[in-house]
Amino acid sequence: MAVPVWSVDPRTGKQREQVAVEATAEEIDAVVRAAAAAAPALADRIVRARLLRTAADFLEEAGPRILEAADAETALGPGRLTGELGRTTYQLRAFADIVDEGAFLDVIIDHADPSLAPPRPDLRRYKIPLGVVAVYSASNFPLAFSVPGGDTASALAAGCPVVVKAHPDHPATSELCADALRRAAVAVGLPVDVVAVVHGFEAGVELVKHPLVSAAGFTGSVRGGRALFDAAAARPVPIPFHGELGSLNPVVITEAAAEERAEQIGAGLAGSLTLGVGQFCVKPGLVLAPEGEAGDRLLKSLTGAVSDAPAGTLLDARMRDNFIAGVRERAELPGVQAPVEPGDGGEHLVRPGFVSVPAARLTEPGDYDALLEECFGPVTVVARYATPGELEAVLGRLPGNLTATAHISEAEASGDGPGADLLARLTPLAGRVVVNGWPTGVAVAPAMHHGGPYPATTSTSTSVGGTAIERWLRPVVYQDAPAALLPTELRDDNPLGLPRRVDGHREA
């Protein structure tokens, strides 16, 4: 019996329309096999670049319909979603530029040298696509981390067909985006099956287990991501699983920084934790602030700014229920105060806020461990530390994170001093260390790294930025292969004009 997939308005909780049906195991098998059969058509880099740029064009043309559906399904608002669509089309075009340049192929040639001991054979190395990639869409970014998002863009850029498991929070948006990508494939002469979308929880499980799926990218919860990660590892042939699972994103505010600009830091923190109704994977979930007069000023500023923030709608009713239960659990702990009480904001709404606790309560395992776990939504934990030892003890208990932030004073920003020591302490905890800013907002740029130690991610790779393409490639070396048999990318005359390293020297 077919299981319907409904589009739901989180502002009202009402079903909007039936969008699709959940895919069966047989349908997953057919979709993956079709994607695998389409893989050879993606071998031409020129065509791949055209696909990515055409997909961006088609998404922009369909923009009004996509934005209308996305707002109706997520309540994120036209302004936020318009920016996200721009981000999505930008990263598609950015990966097209990367494909054109060709440096991602990482071509290295070492010519034979019989004078070495032992003699060196002729070695030629580059990277090739893994195969079909399974992408698991995120709830909180219906465009940039979903069907046309960074995982899909980078996989297509690498030459890998993509099967996307759509998120149940925005199925209509997913179908509209899939239509744009599939039309783009046809427009540039590629099989439509280089991109496919499926729906349903069981479909996601079947997808990661399929023998023709060669890698997977996931953005979501620790529980769901870990289950899929374990399934990927348990296959007869394990596959890479690049999962972004969860992050507390700690913020450390030094006493000197609080003395210097407590009000500014408090207002900035309020803006960061309430941005997008707190539904960013890099929302600051734990803030270590000093005791004392400067810390009190900071808390007063934070209280005023958060109190002025409006109630908002979370992405779905389940997340709302989890948020309300999570903040209640935290607020009821002995010694925890709620200067601005987060929680139920009325029908389908949540109220932003924060809780405060002495940092000493967090230095040892026990009843307060919930305060060191991510709570998805507009809430943060402010832990007031009295001594450097308390601060260090709390940092020592933190798992891996996407980000870690340091707010330091102007004097502490010198090259040798407490600022440098704090950055060195935070570096092992996160993939991105922010100084005197806020982690919300992940720039799509070549140098960006959006990842971190487990449980932030299950690998050392990034899901944002140009190097995200590396997840879907593997190196292969040809030894003493006759010139006529070499791939074009590895020939001495370099007919494709690729950047490469030859006999230890970089060639542009």
Domains and CATH numbers, the chain: 23-97+129-245+460-472 (3.40.605.10), 250-435 (3.40.309.10)
pLDDT in tens, 151-202: 999 999 999 999 999 999 999 999 999 999 999 999 999 999 999 999 999 9
Q: If DSSP codes are grouped into helix, strand and coil, which group holds residue 346? A: coil
- What is the rounded CA–CA span in Å between residue 399 and residue 86? 33
Instruction: Kindly report the backbone phi and psi dihedral angles of residue 283, in degrees, each rounded to the nearest multiple of 5, phi listed first.
Output: -60, 135
Question: Which DSSP string corresponds to 39-80?
Answer: GGGGG-HHHHHHHHHHHHHHHHHTHHHHHHHHHHHH---HHH
Which pLDDT does position 2 carry in this prediction?
87
Mean pLDDT of the chain: 97
Q: Which residue intervals of 244-387 are DSSP H helices? A: 255-274, 293-307, 317-331
pLDDT at 14 over 90: yes
**Residue for token pair 């000493």:** 360
pLDDT in tens, 23-74: 999 999 999 999 999 999 999 999 999 999 999 999 999 999 999 999 999 9
pTM: 0.96
Q: If DSSP codes are grouped into helix, strand and coil, which group holds residue 365? A: coil
**Residue for token pair 């105060």:** 337
pLDDT at 451 over 90: yes
- What is the rounded CA–CA span in Å between residue 136 and residue 235? 18
Which pLDDT does position 202 carry in this prediction?
95
Q: If DSSP codes are grouped into helix, strand and coil, which group holds residue 489? A: helix
pLDDT at 508 over 80: no
Question: Is 364 part of the annotated catalytic residue set?
Answer: no
Query: Exactly one of 73, 84, 206, 244 is catalytic; which is it?
Result: 244
At 417, is the pLDDT very low, low, confident or very high (cuts 50, 70, 90)? confident
Q: Which residue intervals of 62-166 are DSSP H helices? A: 63-74, 78-101, 150-158
Bridge partners for 101 per DSSP: none
CA angle at residue 320 from 463 to 6, to 5 degrees? 75
- Amino acid, single-letter form, for residue 430: A
pLDDT in tens, 71-118: 999 999 999 999 999 999 999 999 999 999 999 999 999 999 999 999
- What is the rounded CA–CA span in Å between residue 261 and residue 259? 6
pLDDT at 414 over 90: no
Which pLDDT does position 469 carry in this prediction?
98
Question: Is 244 part of the annotated catalytic residue set?
Answer: yes
Query: Exactly one of 281, 374, 375, 412 is catalytic; which is it?
Result: 281
Q: Residues with Cβ < 8 Å from 316, sequence gap 6 or more?
A: 8, 10, 139, 169
**Per-residue b/e over 158-176, b at no fewer than 16 CB within 10 Å?**
bbbbbbbbbbbbbbbbbbb
Which pLDDT does position 485 carry in this prediction?
98
**Encoding tokens for residue 394?**
């709390």
pLDDT at 473 over 80: yes
At 416, is the pLDDT very low, low, confident or very high (cuts 50, 70, 90)? confident
**Encoding tokens for residue 397?**
């208990």
pLDDT at 203 over 80: yes
Which pLDDT does position 505 carry in this prediction?
96
Instruction: Kindly report the backbone phi and psi dihedral angles of residue 251, in degrees, each rounded to the nearest multiple of 5, phi listed first.
Output: -120, 130
How does DSSP classify residue 108? E
